[in-house]
Chains A and B, each alone.
Chain A
Amino acid sequence: MTRVTLKEVSKKFGKVVAVDKASIEVDHGEFFTLLGPSGCGKTTTLRIIAGFEIPDEGRVIFDEEDVTFKKPYERGCAMVFQNYALWPHMTVYDNVAYGLKIRKVPKEEIKKRVKEVLDLVGLTGLENRYPLQLSGGQQQRVALARALVIEPKVLLLDEPLSNLDAKLRLRMREEIRKIQRDLNITTIYVTHDQEEAMSISDRVAIMRRGRIVQVGRPSEIYMNPRNLFVATFIGRSTALRGSIEYIQGRRVKMRVNEKLTITGKLAEDYELSVGDKAIAIMHPEDFTLKVEGESNIIEGVVELTMFLGPFTQLRINVGDQNMIAYIDPEYEVKTGTRIRLAIKEEDVIIFPLIGWEEFEVETIT
């Protein structure tokens, strides 16, 4: 049970700023996730916590102790590597027992603890296999067991599921979460998969270009993205652009074209005035075909339909812009027909129209 604090940590590799003044506080027993696109500095941050890199600036603190300059082998945190890093010349047993042998734990106790942890991850009976004789999922479990067996202060996981197939990924994710809950270990998890992050974590830190842009509970981040980057990175999003027509507190009305206005809430930390250019970010799954009594009604022509299983994706043209919406697949919608959709005001977040080009917003063109 350890509290992990990063204070204004920065790390450069040559000219590349990998981590830029990152500050986080991870609580006792918390499951904390670093989420961000590839190259945003997640692994580097994790490696700074593990002690494989030392920051150019800033401090790493475990509980009250400053460990910034401690060697990796003095930190007592255990890491699960993306490629598992199992030692091919040792059996499963020896891999798992390694950390205990280093700690000079008596032989009998090593046996007992290895057995317990292998039970925990569901690998009983595979003690004498070599890593190359295991499936990807089993290797993953060995890596986890090897980290857990030393009862680390902090468990660090760097994209531990990215080498598994989709089904196994879902299962392992639940298991990791369950084990973490049971053992109550402070855990820092790295992933670029936002769904994974949202489903597994107590709290998530969204990283971008080495900076931490928002920290919060998954639902908080989903409902109240701090900026356009978070809004578009979390979940799928679609957008409409326009200019502000009316402001009432945090509630704003944006005109998209002569026929269409859309009302939503102004993003936190931003201010807008009437006439400013703005962008409304919405989640495609928030649209509904039941338009009676709703204030936000969007009318457009269906350009393309795509059946995606649990829903049908529509590409809708509203004058000069396109947007995306998901509807119940029970409704049959033909391309070329006109359609009316509604969305709740609280599901529309409006940002000033700055720098939107770089984000992955569906059909923004």
Chain B
Amino acid sequence: MIKRSELLKNLKVQMFYLDPVLVTQLAFPTLMLTLFLIAPIATVLLVSLNYNPADIFTDPTYVNFNPRGSPITIRLITFRGREFILIKISGVSLGIIMNSLVNSFIVTICASILGIVVAFVMARYSFPGRTILRVLAMTPLLVTPFINAFVIRKIFDWRDGIISWIIGDVLHLPYRIGIEDLAGVAITQIMTFFPIIYLNVYSSMINIDPSMEEQAENLGAKGLKLFRTVTLPLSLPGLAAGAAIVFIFSLEDVAAPIVFNEKRFMSYHILERFLEATTGQLSPVAATLSLILLILALAAFIGIKKYVTLKQYAMLSRGGRWSPRIRRLRLKGLIVVYLFILPLLLFAAFPQIGVFIYALAENWADPLPYGFTLEHMAKIVEDPLVFRAIVNSLTYSILAIILIVAIGVSSSYVIARARIPATDLLDILVTSPIALPGLVIAVGYFYFFTSIFRGTPLDPITFGPALLLSLAYSVRRLPFTARAVYAGLQQVHIALEEASLNLGASRLKTLVSIVIPLIGINILSGALISFVYCMSETSVGITLGGLKGVGEEHQAPISFIMMDYLERVGGPHIVASLGVLLISIQLLVIVLVNVVFKQKYAYIGV
């Protein structure tokens, strides 16, 4: 039994450490995240309760254990006057929910294998051209909504695809190969996401204490055995973190299903419901599917909790503290690298290169692009709808960044410094958006703000989605800034603040004249990274973003216009031009953050 006086005294002690500034710094993020993260997600839960889950799990559209379609079809065709053997890989459908699940598993496993191989080669061997290969390996991480998937489809299309063209028209072999439907989505996601695994595993590997491997070698393990028994197990935290992110990104990815016109995925299904929602009604199926997405995403994170804490995902590579074991490759290894790894990486980087080709070519309907023009690039300024989208995205992103900096600095400061319980909870709250599918947030926002906030500026049906998009961006991209600030605070010895308090400066004065100048670079870097990912944000942009249509005064962001223009005549060129714009911003920020500010750039986040 704790006595009343004890309690009172405890309270007094607690209050001592909490001055008004700290209280504000605690209350503001908590309030914002409760309103714009917890409440909407709770609403998803509430709405989906109205729907009997048995209905969905017994409906063969959603769950179907009798596979539809055949994974590979081979038949004889006559195409443009010649006879071909057509090999079409399309995958089988097990119903919307199962498709998403199976697809994400396959993508995660394949991306993991690729990522580990590339990471191992890069982390342990030196060879001519290593730097170029490292750049190539990270290229797919440049976010270009839709258009990179569009280029991948262009590679695997059996009619005018590049591979079929090489086999059939260049080599004159009687084959045409096509990858489409479910298989097309899977291969697109594998190519897009494997660098996430690569980066995480790579940073794990270069952080392995070299003496661990040396000890194992010393005991007689070498080659594959050394890799299997020491290197890989020690890289597991990186692998687990990367795999969880890939799994979630794959689950919520809409771009690949849209480009391959494959509607049998949960993500596409939710999107379709949204496209009907301009009326103000969103089918409760969207809520149920969102809940399933949410549960799967959370399961992925809780599943790997054993290995890594949430903090590490957002921070990513810590950089090597010691020089890792790097050896020169011998001939056999060099052959493997140049014959296998290099083409693989070139291939994986091709979609981003293809974005430039699409943007700058007069036409790319045939297997090869034709002509050079700046006209498509000019369109992004000239076409009022597109230009407006750019202005919209800029506005939303800047608004979001202001909120992100305010929330991120406050929450990180409280987490790093305040001596009160429950900061762990705030920490989880701030970093969790990394693990939350954007579609779930979009669905939650819709239900929450069209009901309780009906008629207020937050209601996307009455006033349009502008404000909600800014808020959603600020929640989704918060972790990048929050972690950067937190990392900065850990570098600032607490005595620097205490010295200021000790000399008579208030908490606020200390914050303004000591803390913020010392972590300014971290705040700026974090804000820039958040900004980049706001500009290219997709899931919320293409769902909530379209609620006011694409008229003259539209409120849609870049990603929505990209999706919308994909189907228009000549549209892909404009979409690609927007892709070039996004890539340019990303490269600029990468250079600023890495070279000018000398900070780590956190790469994940699509």
Q: Quick one: which of B495, B506, B517 has the most chain A CB within 10 A?
A: B495
At the interface, yes or no: B296 with Cβ under 8 Å from chain A?
A: no
Complex CA–CA separation, A114 to B77 (angstroms): 91
Cβ < 8 Å to A, chain B residues 15-53: 16, 19
Cβ–Cβ contact A81 & B16, under 8 A: no
At the interface, yes or no: A52 with Cβ under 8 Å from chain B?
A: yes
Cβ–Cβ contact B514 & A87, under 8 A: yes
Complex CA–CA separation, A83 to B12 (angstroms): 31
Interface majority SS (helix, strand, loop, mixed), chain B: helix
Hey, which chain A residues are within 8 Å of B499, CB to CB?
79, 81, 85-87, 146
Hey, which chain A residues are within 8 Å of B450, CB to CB?
none
Point out the residue from B13, B495, B506, B514 that lies within 8 Å of A73, measured CB to CB.
B506
Hey, which chain B residues are within 8 Å of A146, CB to CB?
499, 503
At the interface, yes or no: B502 with Cβ under 8 Å from chain A?
A: yes
At the interface, yes or no: A50 with Cβ under 8 Å from chain B?
A: yes
At the interface, yes or no: B553 with Cβ under 8 Å from chain A?
A: no
Cβ–Cβ contact A79 & B509, under 8 A: no
Complex CA–CA separation, A89 to B513 (angstroms): 10
Point out the residue from A71, A76, A85 that lies within 8 Å of B495, measured CB to CB.
A85
At the interface, yes or no: A121 with Cβ under 8 Å from chain B?
A: no
Cβ–Cβ contact B503 & A99, under 8 A: yes
Given contacts A85-B493, A87-B514, contact A50 B503 (CB under 8 A): no
Hey, which chain A residues are within 8 Å of B498, CB to CB?
50, 52, 72, 79, 81, 85
Cβ–Cβ contact B517 & A89, under 8 A: yes
Hey, which chain B residues are within 8 Å of A86, CB to CB?
499
Hey, which chain A residues are within 8 Å of B501, CB to CB?
51-52, 71-73
Complex CA–CA separation, A194 to B505 (angstroms): 34
Cβ < 8 Å to B, chain A residues 309-356: none
At the interface, yes or no: B371 with Cβ under 8 Å from chain A?
A: no
Contact with B along A101-118 (1 / 0, CB 8 A): 011000000000000000
Hey, which chain A residues are within 8 Å of B64, CB to CB?
none
State how many angstroms separate the Cβ of B86 from the closest Cβ of chain A.
Answer: 67
Q: Quick one: which of A51, A81, A147 has the most chain B CB within 10 A?
A: A81
Complex CA–CA separation, A77 to B504 (angstroms): 9
Given contacts A83-B493, A87-B496, contact A99 B16 (CB under 8 A): no
Residue of A nearest to B15 (CB): A69
State how many angstroms separate the Cβ of A155 from the closest Cβ of chain B.
Answer: 11
Hey, which chain B residues are within 8 Å of A229, CB to CB?
none
At the interface, yes or no: A302 with Cβ under 8 Å from chain B?
A: no
At the interface, yes or no: B363 with Cβ under 8 Å from chain A?
A: no
At the interface, yes or no: A54 with Cβ under 8 Å from chain B?
A: yes
Complex CA–CA separation, A98 to B503 (angstroms): 8
Given contacts A83-B493, A85-B495, A87-B514, contact A102 B13 (CB under 8 A): no
Of the A-B pairs whose beta carbons lie under 8 Å apart in the complex, a sample of 8, sorted by A's number, is A51-B501, A69-B12, A78-B503, A79-B499, A81-B498, A85-B493, A85-B495, A88-B518
> Contact residues of B with A, CB < 8 Å?
9, 12-13, 16, 19, 493, 495-496, 498-507, 509, 513-514, 517-518
6 smallest CB-CB distances across A and B, nearest first, come from A99-B503, A85-B495, A85-B499, A72-B501, A81-B495, A102-B504
